[in-house]
């Protein structure tokens, strides 16, 4: 899956770990010290109480060569957002006599997540911000040793985790695939670009994304007039004549008999999608996982006070804020809100608060964000963006819903396949 990728303008500086490592022996029973609700207090009152947040990630192998030199994956992607978020909720916490501490734990690549969880979570329920891929997230959620813990998933976008594989101890921050496709689809329908050529890659995620495109077409009255799979690897990234090969391959791949308005690309692993714009056989725009994309955040977004957030993050991390950074920042902000405004400290209490109508978090979208009760997905407007510019934000005007218009994006209650355990 791609969001908008990081465009770095400066050299990567040494990443300094600002978080604290969580050792197996380290106590999460710190929670026990935080039992009373927090009252606003004069600054400099009694010693602050500490509230722990565990940031759990895995040292996944670095991705291969990205199609564009401008794309990088910062080593602290995600974590920097969590650290910045922790600093920010501590600004509020400072005034309330409360200190949030981020415990960063990095599992080795290919780790047995359940076994690692057994090693790490020995002192009772914890609040975990999970920077894990879908399969690992599921293993963590099902690990007996984290019983009673709360997981904020700040990374995944897979539909399955919001549908048949949903879990009652997991809350999802970033929009899932179907939400993204619906966000793009509404934009296209609003523009009356309703004839789509679907070009999808070879992976399972691509197949899910492609199914979402067909689902959105049916929902909004658009049509997939042509569909094709692309499974040739354009192995020309670093060769001198790479662009010539691409200039030959892409028109071939996109020459279809039907007339269409836009090419909808499903390439979740960034294999070929970025080669499509200006290389299609017909003069058509490219939308989907590349080209015009849907995302919760891009480093170019500046509306609804997002500009201030971009400034703060740049000062903190010395680079632009990616969608994963935003997901982590928002996850930590949600914990801060639950503890300070929701006045709840146990994972079970936080879960109840996040599911209640008292909960509302600001995420620079011009409206408060809440969780859907049926699959615990964060309900949110979604940005429509090209690499340097945010073009629009969905839901689009005119797409109505009896409840919240943001529920026109993704899986609404009547169509959910999620059955949460109470």
Q: What is the DSSP letter of 289?
A: S
Which lies closer to another protein via its Cβ, residue 92 or residue 279? 92
β-pairing, 382-386 vs 389-394, is antiparallel
Structure tokens given for 163? 């549908």
Measured CA to CA in angstroms, residue 22 lies from 28, 118, 122, 170, 303 at distances of 9, 13, 12, 21, 37
Which lies closer to another protein via its Cβ, residue 250 or residue 306? 306
Which listed residue (71, 77, 88, 270) binds another protein by CB under 8 A? 88
Which listed residue (17, 228, 311, 419) binds another protein by CB under 8 A? 311
Longest dimension (CA), the chain: 74
Q: Is 233 in the site for another protein (CB under 8 A)?
A: no
Which lies closer to another protein via its Cβ, residue 118 or residue 343? 343
Q: Is 305 in the site for another protein (CB under 8 A)?
A: yes
Site for another protein in 325-344 (CB under 8 A): 337, 340-341
Which listed residue (96, 120, 271, 331) binds another protein by CB under 8 A? 96
**Closest distance of CB 399 from another protein, Å:** 12
Q: Is 42 in the site for another protein (CB under 8 A)?
A: yes
Which lies closer to another protein via its Cβ, residue 315 or residue 421? 315
273 with 267: CB under 8 angstroms? yes
Q: What kind and span of H or E run contains 336?
A: helix 323-340
Region from 105-113, 210-218, 267-275, 355-363 binding another protein, contact rule CB under 8 A: 355-363
**Closest distance of CB 52 from another protein, Å:** 21
Residue 209, helix vs strand vs coil: helix
Q: Is 26 in the site for another protein (CB under 8 A)?
A: no
Q: Is 366 in the site for another protein (CB under 8 A)?
A: yes
CA dist., res. 248 & res. 418, Å (int): 45
Which listed residue (169, 298, 405, 408) binds another protein by CB under 8 A? 405
CA dist., res. 280 & res. 252, Å (int): 8
Measured CA to CA in angstroms, residue 369 lies from 79, 149, 160, 246 at distances of 22, 23, 22, 42
Q: What is the DSSP letter of 71?
A: E
Which lies closer to another protein via its Cβ, residue 109 or residue 391? 391
User: How many CA atoms does the CB half-sphere of 235 hold within 13 Å?
Assistant: 3
Region from 68-76, 90-98, 210-218, 237-245 binding another protein, contact rule CB under 8 A: 90-98
**Closest distance of CB 303 from another protein, Å:** 11
Q: Is 40 in the site for another protein (CB under 8 A)?
A: yes
Q: Is 47 in the site for another protein (CB under 8 A)?
A: no
Region from 17-25, 91-99, 250-258, 288-296 binding another protein, contact rule CB under 8 A: 91-99
Structure tokens given for 170? 């997991």
Which lies closer to another protein via its Cβ, residue 115 or residue 389? 389
Residues 6+ apart with CB under 8 A from 78: 57, 131, 154, 155, 324, 325, 327, 328
What end-to-end distance do the CA atoms of the chain give, in Å? Answer: 31
Q: Is 37 in the site for another protein (CB under 8 A)?
A: no
Which listed residue (86, 92, 186, 376) binds another protein by CB under 8 A? 92
Which lies closer to another protein via its Cβ, residue 251 or residue 366? 366
Which listed residue (14, 16, 25, 43) binds another protein by CB under 8 A? 43
Helices (H) and strands (E) in the chain, counts: 9, 18
Region from 119-127, 186-194, 216-224, 311-319 binding another protein, contact rule CB under 8 A: 311-319
Q: Is 183 in the site for another protein (CB under 8 A)?
A: no
Which lies closer to another protein via its Cβ, residue 56 or residue 350? 350
C-alpha closest to that of 395 among 179, 156, 174: 179
Structure tokens given for 1? 């899956």
8 with 60: CB under 8 angstroms? no
CA dist., res. 319 & res. 12, Å (int): 8
CA dist., res. 228 & res. 169, Å (int): 38
Residues 6+ apart with CB under 8 A from 203: 268, 269
Which listed residue (32, 75, 368, 413) binds another protein by CB under 8 A? 368
Which listed residue (10, 35, 91, 241) binds another protein by CB under 8 A? 91
The residue ranges that bind another protein (CB under 8 A) are 40-43, 88, 91-92, 95-96, 305, 308, 311-312, 315, 337, 340-341, 360-362, 366-368, 404-406
């Amino acid at each position: 899956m791609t969001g908008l990728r990081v465009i770095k303008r400066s050299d990567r500086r040494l990443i300094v770990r600002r978080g604290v490592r969580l050792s197996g022996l380290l106590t999460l029973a710190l929670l026990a010290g935080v039992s009373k609700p927090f009252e606003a207090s004069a600054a400099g009152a009694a010693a602050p109480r500490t509230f722990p947040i565990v940031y759990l990630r895995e040292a996944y192998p670095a991705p291969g060569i990205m199609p564009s030199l401008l794309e990088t994956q910062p080593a602290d992607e995600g974590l920097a957002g969590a650290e910045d978020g922790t600093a920010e909720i501590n600004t509020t916490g400072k005034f309330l006599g409360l200190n949030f501490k981020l415990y960063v734990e990095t599992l080795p690549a290919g780790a047995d997540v359940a076994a690692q969880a057994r090693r790490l979570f020995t002192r009772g329920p914890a609040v975990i911000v999970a920077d894990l891929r879908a399969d690992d997230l599921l293993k963590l959620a099902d690990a007996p040793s984290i019983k009673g813990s709360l997981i904020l998933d700040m990374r995944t976008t897979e539909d399955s985790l919001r549908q048949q594989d949903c879990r009652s101890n997991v809350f999802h921050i970033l929009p899932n695939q179907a939400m993204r496709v619906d966000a793009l689809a509404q934009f296209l329908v609003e523009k009356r670009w309703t004839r789509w050529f679907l070009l999808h890659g070879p992976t399972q995620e691509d197949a899910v994304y492609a199914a979402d495109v067909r689902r959105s077409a049916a929902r909004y009255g658009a049509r997939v007039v042509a569909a094709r799979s692309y499974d040739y690897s354009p192995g020309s990234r670093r060769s001198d004549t790479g662009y010539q090969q691409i200039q030959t391959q892409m028109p071939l791949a996109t020459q279809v008999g039907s007339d269409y308005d836009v090419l909808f690309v499903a390439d979740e692993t960034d294999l070929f999608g970025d080669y499509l714009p200006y290389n299609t056989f017909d003069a058509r725009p490219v939308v989907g996982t590349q080209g015009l994309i849907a995302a919760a955040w891009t480093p170019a977004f500046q509306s609804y006070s997002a500009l201030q957030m971009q400034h703060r993050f740049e000062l903190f991390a010395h680079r632009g804020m990616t969608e994963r950074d935003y997901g982590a920042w928002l996850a930590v902000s949600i914990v801060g809100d639950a503890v300070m405004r929701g006045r709840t400290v146990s994972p079970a209490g936080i879960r109840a608060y996040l599911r209640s109508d008292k909960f509302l978090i600001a995420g620079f979208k011009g409206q408060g964000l809440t969780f859907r009760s049926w699959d615990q997905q964060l309900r949110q407007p979604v940005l429509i963006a090209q690499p340097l510019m945010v073009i629009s934000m969905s839901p689009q005007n005119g797409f109505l819903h009896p409840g919240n218009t943001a529920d026109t994006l993704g899986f609404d209650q009547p169509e959910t396949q999620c059955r949460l355990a109470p």
